[in-house]
């Protein structure tokens, strides 16, 4: 799989509704995962969206999630650029350059869902997320 670059939108608790709306607009396949799938299912935010991805027939990809508790949600700056794929060398190279002179907010390392993931803000103030897909079962 080639790497992809797409917007990633943070929502204030209504990611499911928003992503279903975007599916009605653009069509395609929508996959939603909740916080409860990767943590305690009885947690108050367990039914909220940890990751949503809409792949459209036109080739657009839109990702989004509910803002986790403890993180701020500021409409206007709630969009991040996401880089994802399975070419670890390519994506680690992008990560190193984007993080250089910027601020790492989540170190690029293996996560509970099995992928390597990191987040940073580059030296120009642009937020980036890098996700390197792990081995598929």
Q: What is the pLDDT of residues 16-64, one digit of tens each?
A: 999 998 999 888 999 999 988 887 767 778 889 999 999 989 888 999 9
* Residue 87 predicted with pLDDT over 60: yes
Q: What is the pLDDT of residues 60-81, one digit of tens each?
A: 899 999 988 778 877 777 788 9
Average pLDDT over the chain, rounded to whole?
88
What are the structural domains, with CATH classification, of the chain?
4-132 (3.10.180.10)
Taking a C-beta distance cutoff of 8 angstroms, is the pair 68, 13 a contact? Answer: no
**Alpha carbon distance 49, 36 (integer Å):** 9
Taking a C-beta distance cutoff of 8 angstroms, is the pair 115, 131 a contact? Answer: yes
Q: What percent of the chain has pLDDT over 70?
A: 96
- The pTM is what? 0.70
Taking a C-beta distance cutoff of 8 angstroms, is the pair 121, 41 a contact? Answer: no
């Amino acid at each position: 799989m080639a790497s992809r670059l797409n917007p990633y939108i943070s929502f204030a608790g209504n990611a499911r509704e928003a992503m279903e709306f975007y599916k009605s607009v653009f069509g395609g396949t929508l996959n939603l995962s909740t916080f409860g799938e990767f943590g305690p299912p009885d947690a108050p935010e367990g039914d909220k969206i940890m990751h949503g991805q809409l792949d459209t027939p036109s080739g657009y990809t839109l990702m989004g999630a509910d803002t986790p508790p403890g993180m701020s949600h500021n409409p206007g700056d709630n969009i991040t650029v996401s880089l994802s794929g399975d070419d670890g060398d390519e994506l680690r190279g992008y990560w190193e350059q984007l993080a250089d002179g910027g601020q790492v907010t989540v170190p690029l390392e293996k996560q509970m869902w099995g992928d390597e993931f990191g987040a940073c803000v580059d030296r120009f103030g642009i937020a980036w997320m890098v996700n390197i897909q792990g081995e598929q079962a």
